[in-house]
Structures are given as structure tokens and as C-alpha cells.
Amino acid sequence: MAGRSTTGRIGLRSALELIMQDGSDLEISDNDSEDNLSDSSDVFVPMDDDFGDDSDIMSDNESVGHDHVFDAPTDIDSDVEQPEAGAIPVIYDDDSDTEWMEDWTRSLVNFPVSAPFEGGSGLNLPENFEATPTPLDFYQLIVTPSVMKLFKTETNRYARTTCDEKKAAGGLSARSIFNTWTPVTLEEMNKFLAILVHMGLVKKPKIDDYWSTHPALSTTFASRLMTRCRFAAILAFFHLNDNARFIPRGRPDHDPLFKLRPLFDHLVQKFQQLYKPEEDICIDEAMCPWRGRSAFRCYMKDKPTKWGMKLYELCESVSGYVCNMEVMCHEPGVSNKPKEVCLRLLTPFANKGHTLFVDNYYCNPALADELVAENTALVGTVRANRIGLPRDLAKQQMQQGEMDYRRKNQLLYIHWKDKRDVHMLTTKHLPQMKRVGSRARPQNQKDKPECVVEYIHNMAGVDKSDQMISYLPLHRKTCKWWKKLAFHLLTLVMIQGHILCNKHKKEHQQKEMCLEDFVKSVCVSLAAQCTVDPAEDEAAALPLPQRPHLGAAVPPPNVMDRLRPGSHFPEEFASKPGSNAKLQRTCKVCYDRMKHRGASRDELKNRVPHTKYRCEQCQVNLCITPCFKMWHTMDKYHI
């Protein structure tokens, strides 16, 4: 061997080749233990399990790595995430060991004090904001009129382009969506969003079920706002950016998030503008469910949602308010290394004295040093094999309840033995113990390091946000990954608005509102709201499409008008153009009676009797007998 390895590992195959080659001076006997091998041999041969989640080497494009969901359990003994059992520290040579031992010490003399918090936390609402705001007001602080106009403009642009292409190709039926499409208005877009929110509140198997008349599924909220076909058309053409400006993958300046970049950037800017977080913040991952094709779909085995698109989120610890976020999309020139992700998310909050809580995926001495330079404290669990940690303390065997520490400048590395080994890195705390547990049951109390107690209390911010989003799941099947992510972001808007609403109520000493009441209020308000005068909306002034051979739409007759004696006479439909055959239409009474009895859509389409007569005054299609008489004499003719 030419020399000793300093920090590197070699593969199992390479190590075996070195052992078996002629002239090798390396021998391993049957009684060589793992400890003897790592202490006395020149080559470190890792076991199969050594290349797991504890590996300290992360690639820029790593999709599957850190899998952590932090719930606040009742048993606080296992609150802190640990490295995998059997993880072996990185091996250094003797000179490196001596150097690290000199840097790390047990002395706490002149331990630096963390920078005071100067972030100025709290709401930052507009000056003209309502004195007694409604939930809709908080929602519209984020989804502003400019965003609604973006939805309308880009949806109409994409629909116009697509319809023109389809019409030019020919072969469309008269009732095709491409022939009957009319530009969407701002009022329709509000109703479209209201139906999406309603779908998060009321769970049904299929989208069509929200317009179902079956007694077991029937709800009238969606059908009162727009028809099923109109909703499906808006959903199909829904767009957020101009496709003409898209740069294909592989070319310079390609943006993987181009499809939803305007919405994503707007939301991040509004989240930071409307609220300044308190001192304690945390960084973790969130998942947007997706099992389809996507360049940045990833798998996280320990998450409730295992397949999907990963978002890095910086949240306020106490409330779960998302202050900054980014999507792991392998954007060119953007590193996905944990350290780089943390520094990017923290950029708007640097030099304000925040305390950042992270888990062992992000935490390492190099990140802690950089955050100290930016007046930001770091607290987190750390993997025992991280480069830069004192190896003697990382390998130290302890009894349950024992604690030891090492200090290097402002870094404090704590090794505490609970049910498992707990490794903590902090730039804020001293190695002090704190008693936790119920005072009513002294036998359940125990001493824990102060940094562990605060970590447990402050690390669950992202999981709080994820938990709230799970209450409003808008997880509908779609062929477009960006639509799934866009609806995930719109659901997040509801959670953010709810947090802002409750913080405002708390400032004014008012009773807080639960999430369900907040969402129901926004849903109803969106459905009832007309954002602009139709005269000012160019799309609203366009005529609605007429279905072939049906003529102009006729408003439904008033009940008293059809029951009032008068000139109610049957008239026969005219012949079809170019034919002697009479037109036939579905009988109104027969249709309503079958619908009331719970007939399916296919039955209503194929089994309702047709008639060639209608009432001349009411303009309603009716069979001569008995429906004509029932329509004009019975209030509840359909029962």
C-alpha cells in the first residue's frame, strides 16, 4: 500500500481485489473483528448496510434519500431521529484524529452567546385592509385579482390556440368541446375555484359524481354554479403560462417549472410579504402526491405519501406557516445538496437572529459554521459519521441517561443515550439537562438535554402544514403533473390564509376559527362573488354557444305560470331541415320523474320517452297524455 487512507472508503470489490492480488501485504484472518479492521488495517471495507441513508456523500440530483416524518408522540423517549443501527464513522488517519481532538474540547469557557432575534415577527397587512375581515379577505390577500386575471387570460389563450388547431385539422362533431368553447369570465373562474374547494371538502369517487342526481350521491352545490360540461372544459383548458414562450429541455435557460412559474413565484412572494415568522423556524420536506411520469418524481419510503414531487419548505415552528419553499426539479445550475438548499431557503431571513431546526439530513458542522456567520443559530440531530465531528465521542459507549459533549468555537456536539443513541449539534444551547414529563406523575419524569427538548417542540412545523393539507385533499387524477402541483399550491393557500386569519383574531382578542369553517366560508363566498362588472370583462360580453337544432335557451317557467289557467295548447315540432320527419325531444315530465326515482345518466339518456309536441306558451316538451295534463295541474308532478 502506498499510504494510509485519510477520509475515503473503497468498494467491497476493490478491497477484495487488493487482498487477493499477488504481493499484497494485507491479510485478514478468521478472528479479525470489525473493530480490529477499522483500527489497524490500511483499508476500510464497508458492509452492505453502510451505504444507506447515513451516507455523508449526497449527489446534486439525489431524489431518494432523506425520509422523515416527525410527529409529536406521547412517548418522548424516541422523539429524535437517529442514524441507522450499525452505521460506522468515517475513518481518519492518526494525524487527522489528533487535529480534530485539539479542535473539540470539553471546556465551556468563553462560550459565545447567540445573536438576539431582530426579525420583527407579525402580520404585515395592507393599510386599506378591512377592519373586520372575512375569510375571503384573507384568501384574496394571497390569490389577488391579478392572479385571477392570469388564470382567465392564460386559460383563454390556450383554449383559443388549441381550438384553432383542432378546427383546422377538421373532423370535429358539432357538439365537440372545441366547437362549443366560449372564453371563460372572471366570474366563472371564481366559481370554478369554488367547485375545486368544494371537492376538497366533500369526497366523492369521481368528478362526475358532483353533478350526479343519484340519491346516494346527490349534492347541488356544483350543479348550481355551472354545468358538468362547462367545468370539464375549463379544467381541460386551465393554464398558467403562455406555451409560446416555453424553452424545451436541454436548451439554455430551460425552466422545469415553466408551466406554473408565475403562480409559484407569486405565492412565495406573498407568503413572505404578509407575515414575518417568529424566532424558531424549521426546514423539512413536503410531498405532493404524483405517480405519473415526471422528470423529478421521487420516492420517500417513510413519508405517508411515498411517491410524488418533493418540496423543500421553511416554516414557522409554532404555526406551520410556510415562509419559503422550492420544488426539487433538477433546475440547471441549482444544487439539491442539503446545505445549499438550507442556505437558499434562509436567504430572506439571514442576519435576523432566527433559530433554525433541522433533522440529520441537513445538519452538519459546515452548515452550522456558515449559519453562525449569518447570525442564525442551528439546532438539529446529526449523523454520527458526519465529517468534522469528534470520532471518539461519536463511538463512545454509554448507559441510558448518560450524556457527554464536545465544543468547538460555538458548535456544541452532544451525545446522549436514551433508548437509543442521540447525536445533537447546536450553536445555541449549553450542555444542560431539563426535567420533562407530567408533574402529576413524578415517576414518569426524566431529564433530557435542553437542546433535545426544544428540538422536539420546534421541529414539526412542516408536518403541521402537511397535516392540514391532508384535511383538504384535492387529489384528482390528471395527466399533467403541473396541474397536480398547482392544485396542491391552491390548497396550501387555504392553509396559509387560515393561519393569517387566526393570527389576526388573536391580535384582536377574538375567538379563533377552525379550518373547516374557514374553508366553507371561502367556498361559499367565491361561489357568490362576481369580481368585475360583466361590461368590463371582454369574455363576459360574448354570446354563449347554442347547441345544434335547440334554438335559443328559454328560461324555466314559473310554477304559478304553468298552473294558471290560460292559453296552454300543444303544438307540433317543425320538420327537420331537408326531411319530412318530425323533430322529437325528451319529455320534461317523464325525464323529471325518472330522475327523481334515481335513474342513472345512461338511463336518462336512452330510456326517457321522446315527444314531438310541446306547450305553445310554456315552451316545454311534453307527451300529449298524461304529461301535458300533469304539467299544468300538479305542483309536484315528478313525485
| H or E segment and range at residue 378 | strand 377-381
pLDDT tier for residue 35 given thresholds of 50, 70 and 90: very low
- Residue indicated by cell numbers 368541446: 177
Instruction: Answer yes or no: are the C-beta atoms of 14 and 47 closer than 8 Å.
Output: no
Secondary structure class of 443 (helix, strand, coil): helix
DSSP string, 183-206: PPPHHHHHHHHHHHHHHHHS--SS
**192-231 tens-digit pLDDT:** 999 999 999 999 988 999 999 888 888 999 999 999 999 9
Among residues of the chain, what percentage have pLDDT more than 70? 77
Alpha-carbon distance 443 to 554, whole Å?
78
Q: What is residue 77's predicted lDDT score, i.e. its pLDDT?
A: 41
Alpha-carbon distance 487 to 491, whole Å?
6
DSSP string, 313-358: EEEETTT--EEEEEE----TT----HHHHHHHHHGGGTTS--EEEE
pLDDT tier for residue 623 given thresholds of 50, 70 and 90: very high
Interior/surface letters 443-467, b for 16+ CB within 10 angstroms, e for the rest? eeeeebbbbbbbbbebbbbbbbbbe
Instruction: Answer yes or no: are the C-beta atoms of 354 and 498 closer than 8 Å.
Output: no
Identify any residues that bridge with 286 across adjacent strands, giving them in sequence order.
311
Cα distances from 378 to residues 78, 82, 278, in angstroms, run 21, 18, 15
DSSP string, 450-503: HHHHHHHHHTTHHHHHHHHHHTS------S-HHHHHHHHHHHHHHHHHHHHHHH
Among 66-80, 487-501, 605-619, the minimum mean pLDDT is found in 66-80
- Residue indicated by cell numbers 470520532: 391
Rg (CA), the chain: 33
AA identity, residue 263: L
User: Does 6 have pLDDT greater than 80?
Assistant: no
| Nearest of 428, 416, 415, 410 to residue 103 by alpha carbon | 410
For residue 245, count other CB atoms closer than 10 A to its CB. 8
**129-148 tens-digit pLDDT:** 888 899 999 999 999 999 99
User: Does 561 have pLDDT greater than 70?
Assistant: no
Q: What is residue 422's predicted lDDT score, i.e. its pLDDT?
A: 94
pLDDT tier for residue 314 given thresholds of 50, 70 and 90: very high
Cell digits of residue 442: 413524578
SS3 track for 279-309 = CEEEEEEEEEECCCCCCCEEECCCCCCCEEE
- DSSP letter at 535 equals G
- DSSP letter at 216 equals T
pLDDT tier for residue 302 given thresholds of 50, 70 and 90: confident
ω before 626 within 30° of 0 (cis)? yes
Q: What is residue 560's predicted lDDT score, i.e. its pLDDT?
A: 53
3-state helix, strand, coil in the chain (%, to 5): 40, 15, 50
Q: What is residue 290's predicted lDDT score, i.e. its pLDDT?
A: 85
Cell digits of residue 403: 450524556
Secondary structure class of 17 (helix, strand, coil): helix
Alpha-carbon distance 324 to 316, whole Å?
10
- Residue indicated by cell numbers 314559473: 558
AA identity, residue 195: I
Among 133-137, 463-467, 503-507, 533-537, the minimum mean pLDDT is found in 533-537
Cell digits of residue 188: 366563472
pLDDT tier for residue 379 given thresholds of 50, 70 and 90: very high
622-635 average pLDDT score: 88
pLDDT tier for residue 12 given thresholds of 50, 70 and 90: low
- Give me the numbers of helices (H) and strands (E) for the chain, helices first please: 21, 17
Q: What is residue 364's predicted lDDT score, i.e. its pLDDT?
A: 93
Alpha-carbon 325 to chain mean position: 10
User: Does 33 have pLDDT greater than 80?
Assistant: no
Cell digits of residue 295: 422528470
Identify any residues that bridge with 298 across adjacent strands, giving them in sequence order.
308
Q: What is residue 611's predicted lDDT score, i.e. its pLDDT?
A: 92
pLDDT tier for residue 557 given thresholds of 50, 70 and 90: low
Considering only residues 378 and 557, tell me which one the structure prediction assigns the higher pLDDT.
378
Q: What is residue 80's predicted lDDT score, i.e. its pLDDT?
A: 43
Q: What is residue 113's predicted lDDT score, i.e. its pLDDT?
A: 83
Alpha-carbon distance 116 to 112, whole Å?
12
Beta 446-449 vs 433-436: how paired, if at all?
A: antiparallel
**411-453 tens-digit pLDDT:** 999 999 999 999 999 999 999 999 888 777 777 888 999 999 9
